[in-house]
Amino acid sequence: MTEPQSKKALTRRRVLQASAGAAAAIGAAGLPVLQTNTPALGDKKLTVEPLIPSQNRGIILYSVRDRITAAPDDSGVPYGFERVLARIAEIGYKEVEFAGYTQHTSILGRQITPAEIRKILDDNGLVANGTHASINAATFQQQLDIAETLGMKNIGTGSDPTNSAYQSDWDAAADLWNELGRQAKERGLRLYTHNHDVAYSFLLDSGPLDANGRPTASSGVRRLEYFFAKTDPKYVFFEFDIYWGYVARFKHRTYTNSRGQVRTDLFDPILNVANRTKRFPLFHAKDGDRAPEQANGHVMTPLGEGDINFQQFFEVIGEPEFHHANWEQDTAPGGAANPGQSLSFADISYKNMSDLTIYRQ
């Protein structure tokens, strides 16, 4: 089994680097900016704290899905919930986000139950902080039952509330999510949705109309930003996938208005959260290298090996006790050639997440 090598060590010097220009712009907008340069201390004592509290460092199990679902083998790599969750706890993670509740039936001779998974969590000192489930009115109460069994505070999905570009469909989705969010709150949970880049593409909400009476132009409002405004902040929450936010910044820069004019609007992932920070209890701390020749402009990497400035991101959005960071890398599984890769990447990413620190007076 080949151990992956870190190609970009997340050094203390590197994690403290921040964009002075971006910080100035954010400060001018009236949002809090924490300084990362060493201040003139005088007699004041400087202390260091983790930027992401240890109890809020998590992993979505989609990153290690190959080992959760693996049949018993002789690779020496953990497989199934019991062994994989034990390894995740050993690495240091305190929380997990689910991406399904099944493992290979040959492990127990049947499928594992949510109650059995909960015992494994408890035995390893792990907390379930969310899930990517199917969110719809027909099965929502059943999903809430599972979430309660697993001890979750949040229940969500990896899909957008609608794949449509049209305002009327987002209106209908907002009505449904407000109701489901109300049901979740009645049972002590928060309902959330997770973004990909297309969620931050532009809504088609203005004329001229096509042959079916649908708008063909945009006022410049992004789909999910419209959804923020249409949903009740008491009932509907969000998990921001930081990587896909930066892909949106790369891909979704222009729209055509009702006059046929092309307009440019730059998406800012930090301000997207900072302007409504208490609506984002969860994050996917997913890293990527810039790759402008690629369709998405980035290529996924273990956390700390890419170009995304997590130090600046988590400093500016604030509320460290409220925010929970789940490491994710869609491309972590190494297949038969390297069955240990996803868990090795989980180890690298946890260490680099732990190295994010903040200095205070």
Taking only the tens place, the pLDDT of each residue in 95-106 is: 999 999 999 999
Q: What share of the chain is helix, strand, coil (3-state, %, to 5)?
A: 35, 20, 45
Q: Is the pLDDT of residue 298 over 70?
A: yes
The upper half-sphere exposure of residue 113, i.e. CA atoms within 13 Å in the direction of its Cβ, equals 5
Q: How far apart are CA 173 and CA 222, in angstroms?
A: 15
Nearest CA to 14 among 360, 355, 361, 359? 355
pTM above 0.85, yes or no: yes
Q: Which residue has the higher pLDDT, 41 or 139?
A: 139
Return the pLDDT at 30: 55
Percentage of residues in the chain having pLDDT higher than 70: 88
Q: What phi and psi, each to the nearest 5 degrees, are found at residue 359?
A: -100, 135
Would you state the pLDDT for residue 27? 56
pLDDT at 2: 41
Q: What Rg do the C-alpha atoms of the chain give, in angstroms?
A: 21
Architecture of domain 25-33+44-360: Alpha-Beta Barrel (3.20)
Answer whether 62's CB lies under 8 Å from 328's CB.
Answer: yes
Question: In the chain, where are the structural domains located?
Answer: 25-33+44-360
Q: In the prediction, which pLDDT does 45 show?
A: 82
Res. 43 pLDDT band, cuts 50 70 90: low
Helix (H) or strand (E) holding 163: none
pLDDT in tens, 109-164: 999 999 999 999 999 999 999 999 999 999 999 999 999 999 999 999 999 999 99
Segment 159-175 shows an average pLDDT of 97
Nearest alpha-carbon partner for 203 in 151, 243, 163, 236? 163
pLDDT confidence band for 359 (50 / 70 / 90): confident
Q: What is the pLDDT of residues 15-25, one digit of tens each?
A: 334 444 445 45
**Mean pLDDT, range 63-85, rounded to an integer:** 97
Is the pLDDT score of 234 beyond 90? yes
Buried-exposed string 1-13: b where 16+ CB fall within 10 A, e elsewhere: eeebeeeeebeee
User: Do the beta carbons of residue 113 and residue 121 sit within 8 Å?
Assistant: no
- What is the distance between the alpha carbons of residues 35 and 86, in angstroms, rounded to a whole number? 38
> pLDDT, tens digit, for every residue of 249-284?
999 999 999 999 999 999 999 999 999 999 999 999
Alpha helix ranges (H) inside the chain: 12-15, 20-28, 65-68, 80-91, 114-123, 140-150, 167-186, 223-230, 242-251, 269-274, 310-317, 341-354
Residues contacting residue 2 through CB under 8 Å, at least 6 positions apart: 338, 341
- Residue 302: closest CA among 332, 339, 335, 269: 332
Which tokens in the block code for residue 156?
């969500």
